[in-house]
Chains A and B, each alone.
Chain A
């Protein structure tokens, strides 16, 4: 036969353990629930503060001034780099480490970084239905390209891909398809 005191004690133990289980369960759930798509990085290509409107007919030796804007809303600082790649109509846009690195740095959470780029196609062969670019300058520095040729005509594209350092894998990756591109038609005078 249980006394009233022992019954009360049982109730107290029960209530305390129940509260503990409830709090633990709630904390566990809250901690492991993924926050849906609230962290992100945005990349955009601008020209004079507006959406880029590159002359669709770009002559060899002409300068194109673009601004890449990166906005970090990832909730913490991120180590990133941006690659510029010259491509034709069939270029794979996200091949890693085969472009020209135009920016590398740590962007703080909430920080907006602008990267001004002056691009000039320095050396190219342009014929009637064929084009090939072998040298480009970025902000005054010349780079040899991997002899990018267009397939049909003289249509090319500047591809800007953003890579972020992944702490878990210890390498740079671009899982969210953060890249942009501007097409142009190469001509000669």
Chain B
């Protein structure tokens, strides 16, 4: 709420589904159940109680610190380390930010955190009670978020591979969660193939397999020597951190369109580089210490599996089309990393002479304060901020639903169009695709006369500042100011609504 952006378009996109489901009746046959996912139910409640839920959802999502605490406690058996991990989950970057607003991804992240915790008890400790809770959480996640459920399936698959490679005794506790998830996935693909569609790129998939084997060989074969463990750990982690920070900077800068370079540089300086120092560095030290101390293969690799899976999935699904820095991926990566970061920070704080402890305390508190501040950035500095709605935009969509007649053609971009579709029934709303006039003038940068079929045009400030959003991504250049000039000086087009953020134009016959 501190950013003023409690809404995310994935929370709204399913409203149409629930509307149709309500109109045509739920569950005409038993298989329709697989077509109704958690988002639709969630969104139907959301539509009517938006204010209440915009406060309740962050509270609910903030419970993510509990599974992080208990997972770390189970792995390290140390209360102090677990507290550090939980605090970091509460204040760290996009992770804290994600659990501070309302979206299906936020709920999915919370459920995945519980799955990670239950799966540790169920798979490594063979605890049957936790297995039941694990299966319940898995079924809930399957109906909530396709990407997260795919990630969990991969993690369970990797656990089985590691168990086989380590010649561990395979039990029902190891197999059942994977089989359970695959079965649900099979039914979902059978009855709702569109929403379960996840394309794996050939190059990305090959890179992912390669990455998986490199990481596995590295982890299986590499055993840090106990002698000078901390000093070597610090040197090794420091070098890797610098390389990672450099690669992230290089990659993010290459992603930025020229006109948004300043925004990205701000994001970099406030987010990525400090993350490398505050999170990656202790995380690597924690990983180093954890690998050198723990002997059981599954215990040793459990948190690392939850870090490796998002990386591999990132390569498999998103290379080369989407930015790897997608906040969903980084959040799942952080989820697996918190126990290791906790171990790393705890080790750094407890090592050395007593006289240095106040200095370490001050440095740590400074880092934590910086981290807290970075976690709630200005809207413009947030990654994927195009997915969020401003309150004036939600209000404009509501106004349009009350005053624009049905069966009209409305032109907008994907971002605003999704919102308008949620509010306005029986109208054709263009989503900034090839049939959209706005898209046409944005692409060509030349003003063409408005097409006869279009009756309303909805322009937002974000289109003029950043550009149109096309299926979740900014087009590289802002909407030319000539477009607004054309709309405002054409005698056939009335300007009928404005709130400073959104302007609605009506085209006359």
The reply to whether A52 and B365 form a contact with Cβ atoms under 8 Å apart is no
Is there contact, CB below 8 Å, between B495 and A181?
A: yes
B362, B379, B489 pick with most chain A CB within 10 angstroms: B489
Separation in Å of the A69 CB from the closest CB of chain B?
9
Q: How far is the CA of A112 from the CA of B456 in the complex (A)?
A: 24
Contact among B358, B504, B508 with A14 in the assembled complex (CB-CB below 8 Å): B358
Question: When A22-B365, A22-B368, A50-B403 are in contact, do A42 and B391 touch as well, CB less than 8 Å?
Answer: no
Q: Total A-B pairs in contact (CB under 8 Å)?
A: 124
**Which chain B residues border A36 with CB–CB below 8 Å?**
3-5, 378-379, 390
CA A42 to CA B368, docked complex, whole Å: 40
Closest Cβ of chain B: how far from A101's Cβ, in Å?
A: 19
A51 contacts partner chain B, Cβ-Cβ < 8 Å: yes
Interface residues on B, range: 35 or more
| Residue contact B378 to A43, C-beta cutoff 8 Å | no
A188 CB, min distance to chain B CBs, angstroms: 18
Contact between B391 and A33, CB atoms less than 8 A apart: no
- Given A22-B365, A42-B395, A51-B404, residue A33 in contact with residue B2 (CB < 8 A): yes
Please give me the 5 A-B residue pairs with the lowest Cβ-Cβ distance, nearest first: A176-B500, A36-B4, A42-B499, A38-B4, A44-B497
Q: Does B88 contact A (CB under 8 A)?
A: no
Is B361 an interface position by the 8 A CB rule?
yes
Partner of B369, one of A14, A22, A38: A22
Is A98 in the interface zone, CB < 8 Å from B? no
A146 to chain B: closest CB distance in Å?
A: 20
**A102 at the B interface (CB under 8 A):** no
- Distance between B55 CB and nearest chain A CB, rounded to angstroms: 14
A28 to chain B, nearest CB (A): 10
Contact: B4 with A89, CB < 8 Å?
no
Q: Which of B495-509 contact A (CB under 8 A)?
A: 495-501, 503-504, 506, 508-509
Q: In the complex the two chains form, is B498's CB within 8 Å of A51's CB?
A: no
Q: Does A46 contact B (CB under 8 A)?
A: yes
How many angstroms from the CA of A52 to the CA of B405 in the assembled complex? 11
What string of 1s and 0s marks CB contacts (under 8 Å) between A13-38 and chain B? 01000100110011001100111111
Q: Nearest A residue to B503 by beta-carbon distance?
A: A177
Contact B365 A21 (CB under 8 A): yes
The residues in B between 339 and 398 inclusive whose CB is less than 8 angstroms from any CB of A are: 358, 361-362, 365, 368-369, 372-373, 376, 378-379, 390-392, 395-396
Question: Which residues of B in the span 435-474 have a Cβ within 8 Å of any Cβ on A?
Answer: 456
- The residue in chain A whose Cβ has the minimal distance to the Cβ of B396 is A42
A179 CB contacts on chain B under 8 angstroms: 495, 498
Known contacts A26-B372, A51-B403, A183-B494; is-contact A40 B392 (Cβ 8 Å): yes
Contact of A26 with B500 at beta-carbon distance under 8 Å, contacts A36-B4, A38-B390, A51-B404 already known: no
Cβ-defined contact, A37 with B494, below 8 A: no
Q: Does B326 interact with chain A (Cβ within 8 Å)?
A: no
For A14, A18, A26, A54, which residue has the most chain B Cβ atoms within 10 angstroms? A18
B399 to chain A, nearest CB (A): 6
In the assembled complex, the Cα of A50 lies from the Cα of B493 at a distance in Å of 16
- The reply to whether the CB of A155 lies closer than 8 angstroms to some CB of chain B is yes
**Residues 165-189 of chain A, each 1 if its beta carbon lies under 8 Å from chain B, else 0:** 0000000000011111111010000
A30 vs B100: C-alpha distance in the bound complex, in angstroms? 15
A53 is an interface residue with CB less than 8 A from chain B: yes
Determine the distance from Cα of A180 to Cα of B497 in the docked complex, in whole angstroms.
6
List 5 contacting pairs A-B, 8 Å CB cutoff, sorted by A: A40-B395, A40-B500, A73-B395, A155-B491, A177-B503
Main secondary structure, interface of A, reads: mixed
For the complex formed, measure the closest distance between the CB of B360 and the CB atoms of chain A, giving whole angstroms: 11
For residue A89, give the distance in angstroms from its CB to the closest CB of chain B.
6
List of A residues within 8 angstroms of B362 by Cβ: 18
Name, among A26, A45, A71, A73, the residue most crowded by chain B CB atoms within 10 Å (CB to CB): A45
- For A22, list chain B residues within 8 Å (CB): 365, 368-369
CB distance from B248 to the nearest CB of A (A): 25
- Any A CB within 8 A of the CB of B488: yes
Tell me the complex Cα distance, A62–B501, Å.
34
Q: Please state if B497 and A50 are interface contacts (CB–CB under 8 Å).
A: no
Chain A residues within an 8 Å CB radius of B488 = 93, 181
CB distance from A157 to the nearest CB of B (A): 8
In the complex, what residues of B have CB within 8 A of residue A45's CB?
494, 496-497
Q: Give the distance in Å from the alpha carbon of A37 to the alpha carbon of B503 in the complex.
A: 15
Name the B residues within 8 Å of A41 (CB-CB). 499-500
Are B489's CB and A42's CB within 8 A?
no
Further 8 A-B residue pairs, CB within 8 A, beyond A18-B362, A44-B403, A52-B496:
A29-B372, A36-B378, A37-B379, A46-B496, A73-B395, A180-B495, A180-B496, A183-B493
A31 to B78 CA separation, bound complex (whole angstroms): 36
A56 and B508 within 8 A (CB): yes
Interchain CA distance A123-B495 in the complex, whole Å: 26
> Which residues does chain B contribute within 8 Å of A40, judged by CB atoms?
391-392, 395, 499-501
A62 to chain B, nearest CB (A): 17
**A49 interface hit (Cβ, 8 Å):** yes
Of chain A, the residue at the smallest CB distance from B500 is: A176
Q: Assuming A37-B501, A43-B499, A177-B500, is B378 touching A26 (CB within 8 A)?
A: no
Q: Which residues of A contact B403 (CB under 8 A)?
A: 44, 46, 49-51
Q: Tell me, in angstroms, the Cα distance from A176 to B392 when the chains sit together.
A: 12
| Residue among B4, B368, B494 making CB contact with A52, cutoff 8 Å | B494
Task: Report chain A residues within 8 Å CB of B390.
Answer: 36-38
The distance in angstroms between the C-alpha atoms of A35 and B5, with both chains bound, is 9
Q: Does B79 contact A (CB under 8 A)?
A: no
Given contacts A14-B361, A34-B378, contact A42 B399 (CB under 8 A): yes
Q: How far is the CA of A17 from the CA of B498 in the complex (A)?
A: 49
Q: Do A185 and B497 form a contact, CB below 8 Å, given A33-B376, A38-B390?
A: no
- For B373, list chain A residues within 8 Å (CB): 25, 29
Is B197 part of the binding interface, using a Cβ–Cβ cutoff of 8 Å? no
